[in-house]
Chains A and B, each alone.
Chain A
Amino acid sequence: MKIELSEIRKAYRKRVVLKDISLTAKEGDCVGILGGNGCGKSTLLSILAGVQRADGGSFVCDGQDLLRDGKLRNALLGYVPQGNPLIEELSAWDNLRMWYDKETLRRELDQGVLAMLGIDGFLKVPVRKMSGGMKKRLSIGCAVAAKPRILLLDEPSSNLDLVCKEEIRHYFEAFKEQGGILLLATHDMQEIALCDQCFILKQGTLFPYVYDGDISRLAENLS
C-alpha cells in the first residue's frame, strides 16, 4: 500500500492556508507534519479525513482518490482530531458503542487494540471524570474501530503525561509494524523521533525536513 498526496490546496476566502501540498508514504511509514500554531496542519488532516473539502488536489491510495471515494476512505482511514470527539456525560463503554458493535467491542477489549490502549481499565468511567490521557486513548480507540490502515492524528500527545505518551507510542509502533501508515501533525519530540520522514508546513507550503535531534535548529525552521 502507498499513499500519495498531490497538490492539495485550500483557502478561506482570500487567505491561502495550503498551497499545492504533496507527499508520498508507503506501508509502515510514519510521516510527521511539523509547524507553528495556525499554520494549517489541522486543516490538512481534516481535508484528508474528509471533514473539510479541498479546493483542489488528490489523495491517492493504490490508485483510488480517497478525497472523492468516501466509502473507501471510511474503510481505509482513521482520524483522531486534536480535541476529544467524545460525549462527556457518557462512559467509555457508551462512547465506544457508537463505533463498535457489541461483540467486536468485547473482543477488542479482551485482546485487541482497545486492550493494548488500556481502555478496559476505565470502561465505566464517565468521560468528564477522565484524565487527558484516558480521553486521548479513548479517542484513538474510537478512531480505529473500522481497523484502518491509514491513521491521521492531530497532535495526539499534547498535554499528556509521560506514561500515557509511552503507551500511545507503543501503540503507534505496533500499528507501523502491522503495515499501517501514520500521518501525525505534531510538536512533540518523542513523536518526531518516531517519524520516518518529516515535513515543515510554513505559510501554506510543505518543506521536507530531516530531524537530527537539534531542537534549536528545528525551532529556527518553524519560526
Chain B
Amino acid sequence: MKIFGSYFILQLRRTLRHLPALAVLTLVLCGCAGIFAVQCVRDRETSEDRQKYRIALVGETDDTYLGFGISVLSRLDDSRYMLDFPSMTEAEARRALMAGEIDAYAKVPEGLTDSIVQGTNDTKVTLVGSTNQKGMAGILVEELAEAASTMIVRSQSAVFGMQNILWENDLGDQWWEYTERLNLRLIDMVLNRTGLCDLKVLGIGGGLSAEGYYLCGITVFFLLLSGIGSSPLFSGRNRELAGLMASRGAGAVSQVAGEYLAYLLPAAICLFGIFLTVWPLLGSGALGIAEWNGKGVLNAAGFFFALLPVAAAFAAMQFFVYEAAEGVVSSILLQFVCGIGMAYIAGCFYPAGMLPDCLRQVGEVLPAGVALRYAGGSLTGEIPFSAAAGILFYLILFFALSVSVRKRRIQRG
C-alpha cells in the first residue's frame, strides 16, 4: 500500500511535468477536431436557409390535374414546409443539380395523367439525383411517391368500383355526377390527412435539439481524441520498474491503478478545456442550447461535471490502448483510428439514424455510442440507467484488460 501511494504521487508529478506539453497537444488536436466538426455540421445543411429540399419538376407539368396536384402539395399539404417544387427544363435542372442548387429533379413523362385517369398506370416518374446515394431528398420523394401511388391506386379502385355498381343498378346516366362527388370526397380526405394523426418533432437524435446533439457529439469526439495528446506520459514507462515493483509486492493492479489515477488528471483537464471553449459561446448567446432554456452557462457547468465518468471511462480505454500497443507511434495511430472510427459509427458527426441499421446497432454499444447517450442524458438532466451502467462497465472492462496486459508483461520479464 505504501508503494502504491508513493507510486501514485510520483505518477502525478510526472503528469504535472508533462502538463504544458499535454495542454498544447490537446489544444492543437481539439482545434483540428473542431474545424473538422464545424465542417461536418455545415455539410449537414442544418442552417435555416437550407431547411427545404428543392426537387425540380421536369416534363409535362402543364396538365390540369397534375398542376392541381402540385399546387395542392406546394400550398396546402404539410410537405410544403420541407419540399419546394420549381418547374424547369431538363437542361436547366441538370445544370442546377450539378451546381447544388437543387437536390434532385423528377422527370414527368408524357401521358402520365391519362394513364392514371384510364387506370393503366403504365408510365413512371423518374427521379434524378447527383450521387448514387439516396440522401434525405431521395428518401422524402420516395415517401411522397409511395403515398401518391397508394392514394391513386386506391382512388382508382374506388372510382371504377363505383362506376361498375352504377352500371349494374341502371344508374349509368348519372356516372359523371357521382364520379365528381367521389373525387371531391377523396381529395377532401387527402387534404385533411393531417387531421388523422399528430406530427410531433422529437429532435435529431435521442430527442435532442440539433445544437444539443452536436454539443454532445463534439464533446465525446474531443474526449476520444484527448488520449493522443497524452502520449509523452506513456513513452517513459519501463518494464524493469514494473518487475521491481511486482517483486516488492506492488503487482499489476497497484501499478495500473497508480498510473491510471494520475492519468485522470489530463482527462479532466481536457473536459474542462472544452467547457472553457463552450462557455463564452453560451455567455454571448452565439450558441443556444434549446434544452437549457437560456440558462446555458449554469447548465453547461453541470453538463461537463456530469461527463466526468465518461472522461474516466475513455481514459481507461486510452490507457488500455497504450498498454496493449507496442511503441508510441503505433499506440498513437491506434488511438486516432479508434477515436475517429468509433465517433463516426456512434454518430458524433451526424445522427446515427442516418447509418444502416446494423452499423447503428453496433455504434450504440460501442463506448462512444454509450457515451453519446450518457451525454444526451446529461444535457436533459435524465441520464439513462443503461448508459450510466455502460460507462461503468467500460471503465471496469478497460481497467481489467490493462491489468491483465501488465500482468502478462511482468510475467514475461
Task: Please provide the 4 A-B residue pairs with the shortest distance between their CB atoms, ordered closest to farther.
Answer: A83-B240, A85-B244, A85-B241, A85-B240
Contact status A53-B13, CB under 8 Å: no
Q: Give Cα A162–Cα B410 distance, bound, in whole angstroms.
A: 32
Contact status A83-B246, CB under 8 Å: no
The chain A residue sitting closest to B14, CB to CB, is A89
**For window 38-75 of chain A, which residues contact chain B by CB distance below 8 Å?**
42-43, 46, 49-53, 70-71, 73-74
Point out residues on A near B: beta carbons under 8 Å.
Answer: 42-43, 46, 49-53, 70-71, 73-74, 77, 79, 81-90, 94-95, 97-99, 142-143, 146
Contact status A83-B238, CB under 8 Å: yes
Contact status A98-B238, CB under 8 Å: no
Contact status A46-B236, CB under 8 Å: no
Which secondary structure dominates where chain B touches chain A?
helix
Contact status A51-B18, CB under 8 Å: no
Contact status B14-A90, CB under 8 Å: yes
Q: Give Cα A72–Cα B410 distance, bound, in whole angstroms.
A: 21
Contact status B413-A84, CB under 8 Å: no
Is B64 positioned at the interface, with any CB of A under 8 Å from its CB? no
Q: Report the minimal beta-carbon distance from A14 to chain B, rounded to whole angstroms.
A: 16
Contact status A83-B239, CB under 8 Å: yes
Which of B241, B247, B411 has the largest number of chain A CB atoms within 10 A?
B247
Q: Report the minimal beta-carbon distance from A125 to chain B, rounded to whole angstroms.
A: 15
- In the complex, which residues of chain B have a beta carbon less than 8 angstroms from the beta carbon of A84? 238, 240
- In the complex, which residues of chain B have a beta carbon less than 8 angstroms from the beta carbon of A98? 3, 6-7, 10
Point out residues on B near A: beta carbons under 8 Å.
Answer: 3, 6-7, 9-10, 13-14, 17-18, 236, 238-241, 243-249, 410-411, 413
**Which of B6, B13, B14, B240 is the one whose CB lies under 8 Å from A81?**
B240
- In the complex, which residues of chain B have a beta carbon less than 8 angstroms from the beta carbon of A70? 249
**Which of B10, B239, B240 is the one whose CB lies under 8 Å from A94?**
B10
The chain B residue sitting closest to A98, CB to CB, is B6
Report 28 cross-chain contacts, Cβ distance below 8 Å, ordered by A residue.
Answer: A46-B243, A46-B247, A50-B247, A51-B246, A51-B247, A51-B411, A51-B413, A52-B410, A53-B411, A74-B248, A77-B247, A81-B243, A81-B244, A82-B240, A84-B240, A85-B240, A85-B245, A86-B238, A87-B10, A89-B17, A89-B18, A89-B236, A98-B6, A98-B7, A98-B10, A99-B3, A99-B248, A142-B244
Q: Report the minimal beta-carbon distance from B2 to chain A, rounded to whole angstroms.
A: 8
The chain A residue sitting closest to B5, CB to CB, is A98
- In the complex, which residues of chain A have a beta carbon less than 8 angstroms from the beta carbon of B7? 98
Q: Give Cα A143–Cα B239 distance, bound, in whole angstroms.
A: 15
- In the complex, which residues of chain B have a beta carbon less than 8 angstroms from the beta carbon of A52? 410-411, 413
- In the complex, which residues of chain A have a beta carbon less than 8 angstroms from the beta carbon of B238? 83-86, 88
- In the complex, which residues of chain B have a beta carbon less than 8 angstroms from the beta carbon of A86? 238, 241
Q: Give Cα A53–Cα B236 distance, bound, in whole angstroms.
A: 26
Contact status B241-A87, CB under 8 Å: yes
Q: Report the minimal beta-carbon distance from B38 to chain A, rounded to whole angstroms.
A: 36
Q: Give Cα A158–Cα B248 distance, bound, in whole angstroms.
A: 24
The chain B residue sitting closest to A127, CB to CB, is B236
- In the complex, which residues of chain A have a beta carbon less than 8 angstroms from the beta carbon of B243? 46, 49, 51, 81, 85
